[in-house]
Structure formats: C-alpha cells, structure tokens
Amino acid sequence: MQDAVLAMLAKEPSHGYHLHARLRRSLGPLGESMNRGQIYVTLARLERAGLVVCERADGLPERPERKVYALTPAGQQRVAAWLAEVGWPKPDLAEFHLKLAAAAAARLADPVELVAAQRRELLRRLREAQQAALAEPAGSGAGLLLEGVVLRLQADLRWLDACERAWSRVDDEVEGA
C-alpha cells in the first residue's frame, strides 16, 4: 500500500482525497472497503520516513486549506526501486499441506473432509469475485484485477482436487490393507 501511494505521487503532487479517489477507481468494487483515513495514515508514515513532503495549499473559498503531498528525492528513488522489483506474493500452500498431514497423522480429522471444506470456501469466494468481474464493463481496470483474483482461485481449486485425489488414495490403501 505504501509503495502504491508513493508511486501515484510520481505523476504530480496531490491531495489525500485525490489519491483516495484514484485508488478507488483502479480497484473498483475491490476497493470499496477502503476509507480515506487509511490514505492519511499511509501519507503520515511516508512523511515521517522522509519520502514525501507536505505543503499547505491555499484552499478554495468554500473549503479549508488543504495539504498537498509531493515526493522527495528519496521518495523518487524508492518509486524507481519499487518499479524495478520483481518480488511476487507467495501463496501460502505449505500451511494447508501441513495441516492435512498433521490431521491425518494424529487422526484428528479426515484430510479429505478438510479439503472439501476448503473447497467450498474457495468456491464461494470464486463466485463472489466472478459475479463482480462479470458486472464490470469491458475494458475496466478493476475487471482486469478481478480476473487475476478469479484465475488464482481457480488454480487453488485445481490443487485442492489433486489433494483430494491423493488423500482419497491413502484412505483406499488403508482400507485395503
């Protein structure tokens, strides 16, 4: 979030409310829960870190004076470094994988049932994301983001199918022995 807010300031110095509006536009329905307070908290942190400076601008007659935020040279460097970065969020599959193994070893729960419960949860999320994606007009930026969410959930669901097959086989072997 910090990096994204910082990078938006690379276009031009901005008010907090303007940044909030731009973020909301890019995220569409995914950003509905975001409030303006989060932006101001982020901007305050960036200011303390010396990455942005805050100037008071003359307000319009009907509006009070507003703060305008701008990148410092250090902020500009950080934006450049962020753009060049190829880091990628790692899906946390190991935790679920270990949950299945531990549940089976301790006979605490049936791994096949755990997979089924997880599958139901992901399908509900997929349904929600897909309905939102289909409601977006063609060419919408938020639609593209939602498509990414949908594709990841789909990949996770396929992995759960593989988990189900593997743990069902373990069951069959135990029964057969």
Partner 1 sequence: MNVSSAAVRACGLVKTHGQGQSRVRAVDQVDLEVPQGQMLAVMGPSGCGKSTLLHLLGGLERPTDGEVWVAGRRIDTLSERALARMRRRSVGFIFQAFHLVEELSAAENVELPALLAGRSRRQARRRASLLLERVGLADRAWHLPSQLSGGQRQRVAVARALVNEPLVVLADEPTGNLDTTATLEALRIFEELRTAGQTLVIVTHDERVAATADRLVSMRDGMFVDDARLAGSPTRGLGGLIGLEG
Residues found near partner 1 in the complex (CB under 8 A): 27, 29-34, 116, 119-120, 123-132, 134, 145, 149-150, 153-154, 157-158
Query: What minimum distance in Å lies between the beta carbon of 157 and partner 1?
Result: 5
Token couple for 94: 């190991």
Choose between 16 and 29: whose C-beta lies nearer to partner 1.
29
Residues 6+ apart with CB under 8 A from 58: 65
3-state secondary structure of 23: helix
Query: What minimum distance in Å lies between the beta carbon of 46 and partner 1?
Result: 18
Choose between 33 and 88: whose C-beta lies nearer to partner 1.
33
Query: What minimum distance in Å lies between the beta carbon of 172 and partner 1?
Result: 12
Q: Which residues of 57-88 are buried (b: 16+ CB within 10 A; e: fewer)?
A: eeeeeeeeeeebbebbeebeebbeeeeeeeee
Choose between 47 and 136: whose C-beta lies nearer to partner 1.
136
One-letter amino acid identity for 56?
A: R
Residues 6+ apart with CB under 8 A from 30: 132, 142, 145, 146, 149
Query: What minimum distance in Å lies between the beta carbon of 8 and partner 1?
Result: 16
Choose between 18 and 119: whose C-beta lies nearer to partner 1.
119
Q: DSSP code of 119? A: H
Query: What minimum distance in Å lies between the beta carbon of 33 and partner 1?
Result: 4
Choose between 41 and 74: whose C-beta lies nearer to partner 1.
41
For residues 171 and 109, the answer to whether their CB atoms sit within 8 Å is no
